[in-house]
Amino acid sequence: MPLQDYMQIISVDDHLIEHPRVFADRLPRKFLDAGPRIVEDEQRRHVWHMEDQVFPYIGLNAVAGKTPEEFGMEPLRFDDMIPGCYDPVERVKDMDLDGIQAACCFPSFPGFGGRVFMRAKDPELGLACVRAWNDFSIDEWSASAPDRFVPLALLPLWDLDEAVAELRRVAAKGARTVSFPDSPVPLGLPSFHDDHWGPLWDVLEETGVPVSLHFGSGSFVPGFNFSAAALSPNPPAPGQAPPATSFALYATNLMWSTVDLLFSGQLQKHPGLKFMLSEGGIGWLPYIAERADWVWGRHRYYQPIDFDTRPSELLRKHFWGCYIDDQFGLTNRHAIGVDRICVEIDYPHSDSMWPNSRKVIAESLLDVPDDEAHQIVELNARDVFDFPRS
Amino acid sequence: MPLQDYMQIISVDDHLIEHPRVFADRLPRKFLDAGPRIVEDEQRRHVWHMEDQVFPYIGLNAVAGKTPEEFGMEPLRFDDMIPGCYDPVERVKDMDLDGIQAACCFPSFPGFGGRVFMRAKDPELGLACVRAWNDFSIDEWSASAPDRFVPLALLPLWDLDEAVAELRRVAAKGARTVSFPDSPVPLGLPSFHDDHWGPLWDVLEETGVPVSLHFGSGSFVPGFNFSAAALSPNPPAPGQAPPATSFALYATNLMWSTVDLLFSGQLQKHPGLKFMLSEGGIGWLPYIAERADWVWGRHRYYQPIDFDTRPSELLRKHFWGCYIDDQFGLTNRHAIGVDRICVEIDYPHSDSMWPNSRKVIAESLLDVPDDEAHQIVELNARDVFDFPRS
């Protein structure tokens, strides 16, 4: 059955490019010199500066509007990318072209989980940047079209008290998800196994805000250093893995995140926690559920893991996944749980099918009954993000 | 249908524990002092010494005969483990109890891929150890019951010429597979993308010997250092991942190996190469095949990857997988390829169902037609290892 007109597509994973005044418009005056600002360098590239650090890619993989034949040239200036990358009004027009009702947009310059702000030498500046980005995301980007954007926020993860306070602040003003590193350990933060995060999980439960775990937000991607090699315009040296290797392995990051959380004991302490696995596909979920149950069944007698609750039950209760193209996952949707599957568009990145996303998603659902297709493209995302039709 | 009596189970992944005289009986006299030898330490543990290095676990996870309630106490002496761990005559008796016809046995003390011998400060000693282990594996362990053991060999990977020479030597005397690190990079070796390995791949094609890639043989396991933390009798510190986390993620190592090889260009240059993915399960294979094709379709225009051959075709041609317990994989066996699936027993490790393996495998195949079950438990392994019924 084709995708019916009444089904509105909600993408749980898209990206925005911060325009040059995101921080300048919002930071306290004392931070204007050190805070993030766009500089045009000698090669006429637009680059972000923060304190004395330079971040060379404003438009991480912002290739929307290019054909695959044109990929591989990273946009180095704002005029290298289409305006929908950084302008929410233009973005909505691009979403209209693409047949998409609403999108949840991750950051670019700050990293998917905000790790760049952890690198500010002045933690007060880092905190001000997190707040500025959140105010931009909620009050400017999403507020420009409240029925078209699912507001996403970042947290100052290096300071738990401030993270809890910022979560309360953004939840009160409409954030519907927070981006959290898919693996906090490579960032020098406590692991998912650590009770350290308990106060944050408490407030996530209390506010009903789900956590989005985007692959790579914990900075480690198998095969190479994502922030350096993957974005280099130079081809890999002989004997090095081409970026395609990592692109194909995004799921493995989220397999670690999932299994880490399943064996952490935190889901039992925080039964209201909800996790969206962003850009990891879905076809592997039944495998890892069965494997985790097997390990639990064999090793719970002597390891410090919950003796009573099957990991697969925790997975089914606490996790949602999404796909761009995953027929194997859709074929096995009942093993995953039809109410746990969402779609992502990934605009403006190279995995995105824009402006043909609705057509591609419709084709992926040809063999799926209407009620299940509706859940997958729209209703599950509205449910997990508490983002009802207006 | 139950597993029929005429179907002989061939396990593609088991383990042997080296007995104390494996090296002493075979090393040149000049290496007897520095070469591997068993020492009983102050705590009455049996430990391997090589040069001035001490390797504290003789029986890595050799828990056969214990119930899950008794896991977690690593065997620290030969008399802590059942004789089938280190005695091939006793092993065959244990295989008879378990309903298993034949087994391919990986090393213990040398690491699954022989990486311990790379650590010998005297490379001539390292090479002598590889040869001694191979002679033990082929001439003693496997020769004790040629229709019951599939001979496996190691290679001196730090010296390509010696590796090629050793491959020719062991292939001539009956080795039916070689263990190669699932990821050579963490060992300081060139990656699968490097043409460095070409002369070795040439001889593997010429001799028809398949490569066994055992998870963890490249030394990196997500979440922690396998050789240290996973085998420690101490529980993880608060906030650290319990070993169950890594146990559940073995597949991710082999997903990296698979994708690395699919995008390496080496399979096109060496069309006769065959890879067995040892202890990684099978249920994720269709997901990664589809994902690799998607990435290839979108990114082959500008990345140095083969423009013409779909990764899924390479996967289908060059790779075999195996399972202990993977109903999701068996349900999707036609998407994987029924001729690409084998079984593993993993004796004497904690994932093994010994002495109930035949019963457990029979139950896993209840819904599988006889001809397909026969392929999975026996014929595929006989084919890939060129190990016909005698």
Nearest-angstrom CA–CA distance, A265 and A300:
12
Pairing of strands A220-221, B46-50: unpaired
Instruction: Choose among B243, B249, B298: nearest Cβ to A303.
Output: B243
- Cβ contacts of A297 on chain B, cutoff 8 Å: 68
Chain B residue with CA closest to A292: the answer is B248
First to last CA, chain A: 27
Chain B residue with CA closest to A262: the answer is B245
Which residue(s) pair with B53 in the sheet?
B50
Tokens for B120? 């010998």
- Backbone phi, then psi, for B166, in 5-degree steps? -70, -35
- In chain A, % of residues over pLDDT 70: 93
Nearest-angstrom CA–CA distance, B197 and B364:
38
Amino acid, res. A112: F
**A361 to chain B, minimum CA–CA distance in Å?**
14
Q: Model confidence at B67, in pLDDT bands (50, 70, 90)?
A: confident
Pick from A358, A344, A349, A355: nearest CA to A71: A349
Tokens for B235? 């529980």
pLDDT digits (tens, 9 = 90+) for A55-79: 877 766 777 878 877 776 667 889 9
Tokens for A119? 């690198």
Average pLDDT over residues A207-229: 71
- Cβ contacts of A247 on chain B, cutoff 8 Å: 295, 299
Instruction: Choose among B244, B256, B284: nearest Cβ to A222.
Output: B256
Chain B residue with CA closest to A291: the answer is B248
Run of H or E including B149 = strand B149-150
Run of H or E including B362 = helix B357-364
- Cβ contacts of B302 on chain A, cutoff 8 Å: 68-69, 71-72
- Cβ contacts of A303 on chain B, cutoff 8 Å: 72, 235, 242-244
Q: Model confidence at B228, in pLDDT bands (50, 70, 90)?
A: very low
CA dihedral sign, ordered A207, A210, A214, A218: positive
Pick from A21, A33, A23: nearest CA to A117: A23
CATH number for B10-384 (one of 3.40.50.2020, 3.40.366.10, 3.20.20.140, 3.40.50.920): it is: 3.20.20.140
At B363, is the secondary structure helix, strand, or coil? Answer: helix
At A220, is the secondary structure helix, strand, or coil? Answer: strand
pTM for the model? 0.95
pLDDT score of B166 more than 50: yes
Interface size between A and B, measured as CB pairs under 8 A? 210
In the prediction, which pLDDT does A60 show? 64
Under 8 Å between Cβ of B87 and B136: no
pLDDT digits (tens, 9 = 90+) for A284-303: 999 999 999 999 999 898 88
pLDDT digits (tens, 9 = 90+) for A242-271: 888 989 999 999 999 999 999 999 999 999
Instruction: Name the DSSP letter for residue A338.
Output: G
CB contact burial A83-97 (16+ within 10 A = b; e otherwise): bbbbbbeebbebbee
* B198 touching chain A per CB within 8 A: no
Which residue(s) pair with B47 in the sheet?
B39
* B288 touching chain A per CB within 8 A: yes
Nearest-angstrom CA–CA distance, A377 and A11:
8
Nearest-angstrom CA–CA distance, B94 and B72:
22
In the prediction, which pLDDT does A327 show? 98
Nearest-angstrom CA–CA distance, B157 and B168:
14
Give B 246-265 residues with CB within 8 A of chain A.
Answer: 247-249, 251-252, 255-256, 259-260, 262-263
Under 8 Å between Cβ of B187 and B154: no
- Cβ contacts of B332 on chain A, cutoff 8 Å: 328, 332
CA A261 centroid distance within chain: 17
Contacts of A127 (CB under 8 A, 6+ apart): A117, A156, A159, A162, A166
Instruction: Name the DSSP letter for residue A231.
Output: G
- Cβ contacts of B303 on chain A, cutoff 8 Å: 72, 235, 242-244
Under 8 Å between Cβ of B203 and B167: yes
Instruction: Choose among A72, A190, A335: nearest Cβ to B239.
Output: A190
Run of H or E including A314 = helix A311-318
pLDDT digits (tens, 9 = 90+) for A15-39: 999 999 999 999 999 999 999 999 9
Residue of A241 and A200 predicted with greater confidence: A200
- Cβ contacts of B195 on chain A, cutoff 8 Å: 238-239
Over chain A, what is the mean pLDDT?
92
Query: In this complex, do B252 and A248 lie within 8 Å of one another by their Cβ atoms?
Result: no
Which residue(s) pair with B127 in the sheet?
none
pLDDT digits (tens, 9 = 90+) for B25-62: 999 999 999 999 999 999 888 999 999 999 877 766 77
* A302 touching chain B per CB within 8 A: yes
